[in-house]
Amino acid sequence: MICNKCKGINVREENYHHVLNIKNHIIEYDAPRFICKDCRGIVPDKELDLAATIKGYDLYSAKYGIPKEDIILLRKKLNLSQELFAKIIGCAKKTLVSYEVGYSIPNDIYMGVLKLLKADNRVILELLSANKDSYSKEEYNKLINRINLKNNNSIVDKDELVNNIILYFSENGVSKTKVMCLLFLSEYNYYMKYKKSLTNLDFINNSNYLNIFGFEDTIINLINNKRLQLIYDVSSNKEMCYVKTSEYVTSDDFDPKVFEIIEAIKKEHKLLSVEQTLKCVKNNALFINSTDKIVF
Ligand SMILES: [Zn+2]
């Protein structure tokens, strides 16, 4: 191999330190390249150069964008081919392929669309309906039937975990506030043990009252899907309204690590009042200023 700058012949593969500026973010990493020992220049090599570029893009995507694996997963779980998915998000198939293999990074517009989809897969229906004119009625209906919105991405999987925990805690009928507290305590104990979020929920300390962003919607969904019953108790003026599961969940529905935590919480709080459980939440109030959030 000959250096094309100085024509030297001392060209060797070595781990080269890269400093790239990608969309105003500095990405630094080592990757093998062919280097001329005489002039220290990089000698082009199709395979190594491409691998080094992809490595830089991957690092950028993991930190600031959307990893290529997530794009593939998102599309596959929606049950869409590259062609159909590209058409719905409005890019050429070739462009989507280059995102999926990591040859390029989505531009700001597609990055925005992909992040929205990752956060909520139902956005696909809005994208589809916004471009309804580009499909025949038959094609459109076929697409609607084809798209799978169940278990679509990690966030929805997470939702199902939260649903199962709620159902597990409401086995004997329990107030919504207490379910919320038990969720927080599960999150707290899980975080203390494994240093990461269990549910990914936003726990909010709202004027000294525990709240969970989107909690009411989750409960309403469970009630609408007949997985949870809403029961009014007129005999007591303390807990007027509580929820009770109609779908019994067991240890089989959970990862053993998760089940160990929630089972202990359930046992510990079985006989405690809402006020006592809430007090326990307040004693454990925790703010973690990181992406592994627990905020209360
Ligand atoms: Zn050289």
Over residues 269-282, the pLDDT tens digits come to 999 988 899 888 88
What residue spans define the domains of the chain?
11-63, 68-146, 154-295
CATH architecture of the domain formed by 68-146: Orthogonal Bundle (1.10)
Tokens in use for 165? 């925990």
Measured distance CA(89)–CA(130) in Å, rounded: 10
- 111-131: average pLDDT: 89
CA of 8 to the centre of ligand 1 (A): 5
CA of 55 to the centre of ligand 1 (A): 25
CA of 12 to the centre of ligand 1 (A): 11
Each residue of 176-219: pLDDT tens digit?
A: 889 999 999 999 999 889 888 888 887 776 556 677 877 887 88
Each residue of 103-118: pLDDT tens digit?
A: 999 999 999 999 999 8
Nearest to 181 by CA among 157, 215, 222: 215
Q: Are 66 and 89 in contact (CB under 8 A)?
A: no
CA of 45 to the centre of ligand 1 (A): 14
CA of 42 to the centre of ligand 1 (A): 8
CA of 26 to the centre of ligand 1 (A): 27
CA of 1 to the centre of ligand 1 (A): 11
CA of 49 to the centre of ligand 1 (A): 17
Alpha-helix residue ranges (DSSP H) falling in 195-273: 215-224, 256-269
